Amino acid sequence: MSQLRPALFAVALTLAIATPAQAATAAVPTIKIENGRTQPVFSYADAIREHVYVESTVDSDLDGKLDKVRVDIIRPKESGPGLRVPVVIDESPYYDNSGRGNESERKIYDAAGNVAKFPLFYDNYFVPRGYAVLNVDMLGTTRSEGCPDIGGKADVLGGKAVIDWLNGRAKAVRADGSPAVADWTTGKSAMIGKSYDGTLANAVAATGVEGLKTIVPISAISSWYKYQRSNGVIYNYDYASWLANYVDTDPEPKCKPVRDKMDAEDGDDTGNYNPFWAERDYIEGLLGDVSKVKASVFVIHTVNDLNVKPDNFSTWWKALADRHVPRKIWVGQTQHVDPFDFEGRRTLWVDTLHRWFDHWLHGVRNGITNEPRADVEIGPKQWITQRDWPAPFALRASLRPAADGSLGLRPAARNSTATFTDVRMSEEDMVADVGTAKPGRVAFTTGALPLNLRLSGTPTADLRVKLDKPTSNLTALLVDFGETERVDWRRGQGITTLTEEDCHGESTAADDACYRKVVTNVATRPLEIVARGWIDVQNRDSLSRAEPLPAGTYGKVKWLTLPQDYTFKKGHRIGLVIAGTDSTYGNEAGTGANVTVDLARSSVSVPFVLGTPLADVPKDTSRFRGPERLDLPEPEPEFQFY
């Protein structure tokens, strides 16, 4: 024993002398914040890449076992019980089919079955800044179990299970069956994604799941009924089963019973809202609703998105506002496009998203919630900020059609009417040659505008019609007649991809952070269809109950068009076209009904901002502390049409 003491003393002395220097060289990186932003102090190349299977609460493929959700993870090497990090989640059904982003990136796996290449820039950018990034395969897709049910129970509860696992409320296993515990996370999570991915974010947020702190839905669905219906008018038949089959990675027979059930329940025979669609409604649905949302919401959508039509964001946005949910919004003018591909705004988008996540997930006080709530594109690559969307300082004007084909502020003479037949027509035919009578439409135009008028919000069509058959489909189009340069959202979704790249984040040989730049497509055209709206007259009073209009009897048919943000320029004319079945966006046949419009009791109400668009931004919007939404009355606007 006595012989050991000198040796032990020497070892202790050596350790005492060496420890300070060794500790200094082996310091573990921690979260670093400068200028209101987390800094890239963690190695992307050395990050942990792993995958787990989270047990959900559903058995969507009816095999007697709860479905497991495949979760691919990349996180800082230093993360663990001693350094817990928040999580950014992109859950998607598209990781092995259409891919993600403008360049259609797919997951690429290494020999161990872990993802070596994560699609998009989120991992490259956020992992070095102290985040974990999770790419989650939606149930029934890629390497997850189960069957997709297109917005229903499996879609919603699969994603919710991942949030529950991150917060210790659900189980997960590794590929070898050993338990997987998320002891490396704070449990604070964000969900982000475009289209279906963003839809899953909306859906999971509507469950009120604890731990989901913010969502960033991009071009996302809030109601699958609105995605496939408009007031009883059907866009596509049996769409849910078609999409389920497209995203499913299993042999086709496996999930056929699930698809057949969708076809039986979707109500394509009527177009009505029913329990099938209520399950897939995240504003006031069966699985969750906006009243349960605890996460903040950063909405990005475009007013010309005729895939996920913009009423999906406008109704969601209003419902969030009514409940004072913390929120932010970007409104663009291209088609189904990610803000990463808004020309000239890529760096701003990455920085804004960074600050948003830092605030809600790391608790950084960077002032982002005190800034103007809305960024709005009011013309090709022309953006403004304002305190909310739609423009809270807009005034509503009722534009009224007259028998002579004019459109103005005064009601038409009593007993004046216009007639057309509900036939299937394209939008192009509906708006062509508006001064010429056509049997399938009636058209009305203002004189030349004496000033710029910006439409911001959702027009309302309010018609009084008489039919000679039980029902008719109605289309209302608000049109800008006047040649000018506009965003060409029809060509390439409104963007052209270049060969030059820029980079956002760190790269490895397998996964670079560089993406091709884009430019906005523009075109000079003589007209633009600004707002669109459709309704089946049977659904004029209820979406869930069809009621024919007695033949020969006038009835009131009032509905919202799709929202817009658009500037009618001085000298242009505003047109209103009323027609039957729109073949451009619907698959229904015309009913053949003769439609008589009582012009004296018909109008379209439009929210206008007067003057030049750039003058519409209130001064010092960053200090605005007024109400969440300014609901203005509808006074008669102080302008005239000539």
Catalytic pick from 301, 336, 359, 362? 336
Helices 153-166 and 196-205, packing angle to 10 deg: 70
Nearest to 92 by CA among 111, 112, 119, 67: 119
Q: 596: which strand partners?
A: 419, 466
> Catalytic annotation on 336?
yes
Q: Can you read off the two tokens belonging to residue 316?
A: 């969601």
3-state secondary structure of 13: helix
Task: Report how far residue 41's alpha carbon sits from residue 44's, in angstroms, rounded to the nearest whole number.
Answer: 9
Enumerate the H helices of 136-268 as residue ranges.
153-166, 196-205, 224-228, 239-247, 256-265
Q: Is residue 195 annotated as a catalytic residue, yes or no?
A: yes
C-alpha dihedral, 9 to 12 to 17 to 23, nearest 10°: 180
Q: Return the structure tokens found at 308.
A: 């996920």
**Within 10 A of 609 (CB to CB), how many other CB atoms are there?**
24
HSE, side-chain direction, 13 A CA sphere, residue 593 = 26
The alpha carbon dihedral of 380, 381, 386, 388 has a sign of positive
Strands annotated E in 337-411: 374-379, 382-386, 395-401, 407-408
Reference 45, options 511, 642, 394; nearest CA is 511
* 216 residue type, one letter: V
Catalytic residue selected from 92, 189, 195, 230: 195
Which candidate in 123, 305, 422, 488 is catalytic? 305
Residue 58 to residue 144: CA distance in whole angstroms: 13
DSSP string covering 134-161, please? EEEEPTTSTT--S---SSSHHHHHHHHH
Q: Is 390 within 8 Å of 565 (Cβ atoms)?
A: yes
Give me the residue label for tokens 């030049």: 612
- Residue 28 has φ and ψ, to the nearest 5°, of -85, 130
The count of residues in the chain is 642
Residues catalogued as catalytic: 195, 305, 336
